[in-house]
Amino acid sequence: MSARRHEVDVLVVGAGPGGAAAAREAARAGARVLLVERRRRVGAPVRCAEHVPLAAAGVMELPPGAVAGRVARLVTHLPSGAVEVTRAPGYVLHRDRLDRALVRRAVAAGAVVWTGARAVGREGGDVLVAVGGAAVRVRAAVVIGADGPTSAVARWIGNPPQPRAAGVQAVVRLARPAADAEVFFGPRWPGGYGWLFPKGEVANAGAAVEPGLGTGPREGLEALLALLTARGAVRAGAPVCRTGGWIPVGGPRPRVQGGNVVLVGDAAGHTHPVTGAGIHHALVGGILAGRLAARAAGGDARALGEYAPALAERLGPTLVRAVRRRALYREGCRSGGPHDDLVRRTWAAFGEYYRQGG
């Protein structure tokens, strides 16, 4: 039996912050929008450290229920044991609540959402979507790929796999109130770092490492939990839950737009290659992609061609610098492990990160 057909102006694949923002903007501009999400429940499970800079609120107003708390400072633990404190205002989120709130905004603007729906391929100009045990052929004037670091949509326009770090995170119970975000560097987290981001009575404790440099992410997380427990920061005992996932660290994809397809967020490689932060950039790209997609669907043949240059102007300098610092950090880890000077030159909290050329 042939698949049933569905026609829209804009198809958005992936209902994370970038995809939801794109769907909302396109719908607000009058486009017929379909947002498909492979998970049955938007935002779950959470595979995100949930820390965002204050600037994220300036891109799109954060729903009050999505904010777990505010942090004003970042405490960096260097490999030698030295500690540096820098001002770094931001939020720790309930990422699942954020994603669902952003999708509700898209629906309020007129977008239609299918959950448990996976884009499985393209055929004859249609996108094949598997949903509810059925196959649907979706014809769209524009396709926005916001489907994460292993994006199928990115492959459709010729992108190779992205370089990635592996991350594992646990939700732990704090032994005492905490108001600072903390990051940890050393040989237990090669090519990456550990983190502790407070969320009231609990916190996200995680570790990211680059494959092939030594310790794996699970070992890095266990080392971090042992350290935090020993210093009395978290309560002894099993974590509330654990999650894991891939973090793109290669910088922007070679192609973020091709034909009628544009890429957003992790799918576009717009995750910060050093910190792994991606929500802010996903919102920037999603809003721009949604607006341009609506124009393209309305007949503006030049609209999608504006996407890559506009993003390069807004995000390019930050991401290009981060790609270079990532390469420097990787080589330093390969040739003897991270040391204080290397971290200072390659971690965005320090002035040395910005004073180097490029």
pLDDT in tens, 60-97: 777 878 999 889 999 999 999 999 999 999 989 999 99
Q: Which amino acid is at 108?
A: A
Q: Are the C-beta atoms of residues 198 and 174 closer than 8 Å to each other?
A: yes
Task: Report helix, strand or coil for 98.
Answer: helix
Q: What are phi and psi of 98, to 5 degrees?
A: -60, -50
Global pTM value: 0.94
Q: Is the pLDDT of residue 281 over 60?
A: yes
> Is-cis flag, bond preceding 45, omega within 30?
yes
Q: What confidence score (pLDDT) does residue 209 get?
A: 95
Q: Worst-scoring range by mean pLDDT, 10-14, 108-112, 125-129, 332-336?
A: 332-336
Edge-first strand order for the sheet with 67-77 is: 51-53, 83-93, 67-77, 181-184, 193-199, 202-209, 164-173, 241-248
Measured distance CA(29)–CA(39) in Å, rounded:
27
Q: How confident is the model at residue 357 (pLDDT cuts 50, 70, 90)?
A: low
Q: What confidence score (pLDDT) does residue 312 get?
A: 94
Q: Is the pLDDT of residue 276 over 50?
A: yes
**Residue 212: partners with Cβ closer than 8 Å, 6 or more residues away:** none
Q: What confidence score (pLDDT) does residue 238 get?
A: 66
Measured distance CA(358)–CA(352) in Å, rounded:
12
Strand ranges in 146-248 using DSSP code E only, listed in sequence order:
164-173, 181-184, 193-199, 202-209, 241-248
Percent of the residues in the chain that have a pLDDT greater than 90, as a whole number: 79
Task: Report helix, strand or coil for 331.
Answer: helix
Q: Tell me which H or E stretch contains 84.
A: strand 83-93
Domains of the chain: 4-48+95-161+253-328 (3.50.50.60), 51-93+163-248+337-353 (3.30.9)
